[in-house]
């Protein structure tokens, strides 16, 4: 007898979808190529990801999922599941061959808070821990789990059902299902089995990545080069290292994500020209060549030691030509991948889970191909929209103020979406990064540093995001430091179509 839903890939997306499907009463098989615990990238959450986890947990009666939505609840519920504190997004602009020095007007840095205190903070996910935990939770709910499954094909039964075939422990493996979801990531199983054509993002630069995990990475707030960039006496919106920390330079950027166990995730994403110059395929020697170019970053990693081998991704971005068809679908993480610059992977994946859950609940996943076509179109449209934004950010790196101004499109849209989900659900239909808002999307496209020959106008960006700016962004008086201020959200209540008291009540429920 076939299972109702086969999910290929037991990372966080596949396991959460399995949990939801079990709550819907479906018989679910979760298939894993490797074994847990195993290394994975995609490690940084966001406020929108947090509220999506909350809402999925509430909607589908998954109380053990809900603590993952915020740092405080996570630490109380699951102190043994590795995570790190993420209070915001920190960016520093570096010039090759020169130590970082804080500009008096803070023009070479950007700090944007995602939360006002640790309790409701976002998190970095130690994926080896988190993915294993979520897989076990899915199994506890009755999911049928099999690891070390090497799938090589999908066929179709006489009844039109997908049949997955391959091998497990040297024996033939066969599984028939009413439907199948690929949660294996870009260039994954269904993409290969169905020969789905990859289609590059229009106008997006070729990029490569090199990354590992480290111990003994120094904190920037303890380094003299960053004095004045967020030391306590300077009253930053949050501790600058308790964040998704980004070192930005011409042609790319580095991430530094701290977990609570002393391990730090770090890596670089660079355009092809710089990747070739650094010879990033060499792994650790290429990492050392990059550090040698930026003295302050080199000092931060002076005592650092990798805990595992370096991974090289020769092509970071990926887009499939289709994300769904009759009785099959790709999670957004399998349909497209752009860049981790703004931690977009988690919310995009969770939005896909939310949409697929609705189709599973109604039965449309199994008997309404048109609904899956809509899912595919929405998933890829959001990926294309996000890729246009990230391409603009890369183009803005050499003129850091252009990057700062252009980033306001993301922070305005993300903060608006989070609050809208709390107080004005009807306002969330515009989709991720407001891909479905024609005016916003058009302005974001037209003002992109990737297409605009002149320096970006702060006034034009301010006007373009004003309708959704409820976070006090685009204020030159703040000199690139943006705290999480409840007063800004309350003052912007009319943009959400609700009374100020409604926003105030939602914030009070969060302890603000």
pLDDT digits (tens, 9 = 90+) for 104-131: 999 999 999 999 999 999 999 999 999 9
Q: What is the pLDDT of residue 233?
A: 56
- Select from 286, 313, 340 the last residue of a domain: 313
Q: Is 161 helix (H, G, I), strand (E, B) or coil?
A: coil
Q: What is the mean pLDDT of residues 274-280?
A: 98
Domain range for residue 328? 3-80+126-200+319-377
* 189 & 131 share domain: yes
Q: What is the pLDDT of residue 13?
A: 98
Instruction: Write the CB contacts of 109 (distance below 8 Å, at least 6 apart in sequence).
Output: 90, 91, 92, 93, 102, 103, 229, 480
pLDDT in tens, 151-205: 999 999 999 999 999 999 999 999 999 999 999 999 999 999 999 999 999 999 9
- The two three-digit tokens of residue 149, written as one number: 């499954």
| Within-domain flag for 390 | no
* 150 & 230 share domain: no
* 301 & 325 share domain: no
The lowest-confidence range among 24-28, 226-230, 415-419 is 226-230
Q: How far is CA 215 from its chain centroid?
A: 23
Q: What is the mean pLDDT of residues 28-56?
A: 96
Q: Give the burial class of 300: count Cβ atoms within 10 A of its Cβ; 0-12 exposed, 13-18 middle, 19 or more buried.
A: buried
* 471 & 503 share domain: yes
- Select from 313, 337, 363 the last residue of a domain: 313
| Within-domain flag for 16 | yes
| Rounded-to-integer distance, Cα 413 and Cα 470, Å | 9
Under the banding of pLDDT at 50, 70 and 90, the label for residue 452 is: confident
Residue ranges in 301-344 assigned as alpha helix (H): 332-335
Residue ranges in 36-155 assigned as alpha helix (H): 47-59, 71-77, 127-140
Phi, psi values for residue 424, rounded to 5°: -145, 70
Q: What is the mean pLDDT of residues 459-471?
A: 97
- The 8-class DSSP code of residue 198 comes to B
* 182 & 290 share domain: no
User: Over 80: is that where the pLDDT of 275 sits?
Assistant: yes
Q: What is the 3-state secondary structure (H, E, C) of 406-427?
A: HHHHHHHHHHHHHHHHHHCHHH
Cis bond before residue 154 (omega within 30° of 0): no
* 19 & 106 share domain: no
* 298 & 333 share domain: no
Q: What is the pLDDT of residue 453?
A: 80
pLDDT in tens, 471-489: 999 999 999 999 999 999 9
Q: Give the burial class of 170: count Cβ atoms within 10 A of its Cβ; 0-12 exposed, 13-18 middle, 19 or more buried.
A: exposed
Q: What is the pLDDT of residue 175?
A: 97
Phi, psi values for residue 348, rounded to 5°: -65, -45
* 106 & 216 share domain: yes
Q: What is the pLDDT of residue 232?
A: 56
Q: What is the pLDDT of residue 90?
A: 98
| Total number of domains constituting the chain | 3
* 15 & 120 share domain: no
Under the banding of pLDDT at 50, 70 and 90, the label for residue 230 is: low
Q: Residue 34 sits in a domain of what CATH number?
A: 3.50.50.60
Q: How far is CA 52 from its chain centroid?
A: 13
Q: What angle do CA 398, 399, 401 make, to 5 degrees?
A: 140
| Rounded-to-integer distance, Cα 2 and Cα 161, Å | 9
Q: What is the pLDDT of residue 96?
A: 97
Closest CA to 490 of 478, 502, 473, 477: 502
Spatial contact of 270 and 251, defined as CB atoms under 8 Å apart: yes
- Average pLDDT score over the chain: 96
| Within-domain flag for 476 | yes
* 220 & 274 share domain: yes
* 72 & 133 share domain: yes
């Amino acid at each position: 007898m076939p299972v109702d839903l086969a999910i290929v890939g037991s990372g966080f997306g596949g396991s959460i979808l399995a949990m939801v499907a079990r709550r819907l009463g479906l018989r679910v098989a979760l298939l894993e190529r490797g074994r847990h615990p195993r290394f994975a990238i995609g490690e940084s959450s966001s406020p929108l990801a947090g509220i999506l986890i909350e809402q999925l947990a509430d909607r589908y009666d998954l109380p053990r999922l809900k603590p993952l939505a915020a740092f405080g609840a996570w630490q109380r519920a699951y102190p043994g599941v590795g995570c790190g504190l993420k209070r915001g997004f920190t960016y520093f602009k570096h010039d090759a061959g020169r130590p970082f020095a804080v500009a008096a007007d803070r023009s070479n840095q950007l700090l944007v808070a995602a939360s006002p205190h640790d309790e409701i903070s976002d998190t970095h996910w130690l994926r080896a821990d988190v993915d294993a935990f979520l897989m076990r939770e899915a199994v506890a709910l009755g999911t049928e789990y099999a690891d070390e499954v090497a799938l090589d094909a999908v066929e179709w039964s006489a009844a039109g059902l997908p049949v997955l075939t391959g091998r497990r422990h040297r024996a033939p493996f066969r599984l028939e299902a009413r439907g199948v979801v690929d949660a294996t990531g870009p260039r994954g199983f269904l993409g290969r089995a169905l020969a789905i054509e990859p289609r590059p993002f229009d106008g997006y630069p070729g990029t490569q990545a090199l990354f590992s995990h480290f111990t003994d990475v120094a904190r920037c707030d303890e380094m003299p080069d960053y004095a004045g960039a967020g030391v306590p006496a300077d009253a930053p919106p949050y501790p600058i290292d308790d964040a998704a920390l980004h070192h930005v330079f011409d042609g790319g950027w580095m991430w530094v994500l701290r977990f609570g166990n002393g391990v730090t995730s770090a890596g670089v994403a660079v355009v092809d020209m710089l990747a070739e110059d650094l010879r990033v395929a060499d792994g650790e020697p290429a990492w050392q060549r990059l550090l040698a170019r930026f003295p302050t970053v080199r000092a931060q990693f002076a005592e650092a030691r990798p805990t595992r081998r370096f991974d090289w991704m020769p092509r970071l971005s990926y887009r499939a030509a289709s994300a769904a068809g009759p009785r099959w679908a790709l999670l957004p993480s399998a349909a497209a991948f752009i860049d981790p610059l703004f931690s977009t992977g988690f919310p995009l994946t969770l939005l896909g889970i939310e949409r697929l859950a609705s189709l599973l609940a109604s039965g449309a996943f199994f008997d309404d191909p048109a609904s899956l076509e809509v899912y595919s179109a929405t998933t890829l449209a959001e990926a294309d929209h996000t890729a246009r934004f990230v391409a603009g950010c890369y183009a803005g790196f050499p003129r850091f103020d252009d990057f700062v101004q252009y980033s306001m499109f993301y922070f305005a849209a993300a903060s608006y979406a989070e609050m809208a989900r709390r107080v004005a659900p009807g306002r969330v239909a515009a989709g991720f990064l407001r891909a479905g808002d024609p005016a916003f999307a058009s302005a974001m496209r037209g003002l992109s540093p990737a297409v605009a020959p002149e320096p970006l106008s702060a006034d034009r960006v301010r006007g373009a995001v004003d309708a959704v700016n409820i976070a006090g962004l685009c204020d030159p008086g703040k000199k690139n430091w943006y705290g999480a201020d409840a007063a800004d959200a309350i003052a912007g209540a009319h943009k959400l179509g609700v009374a100020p008291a409604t926003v105030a009540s939602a914030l009070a429920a969060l302890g603000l």
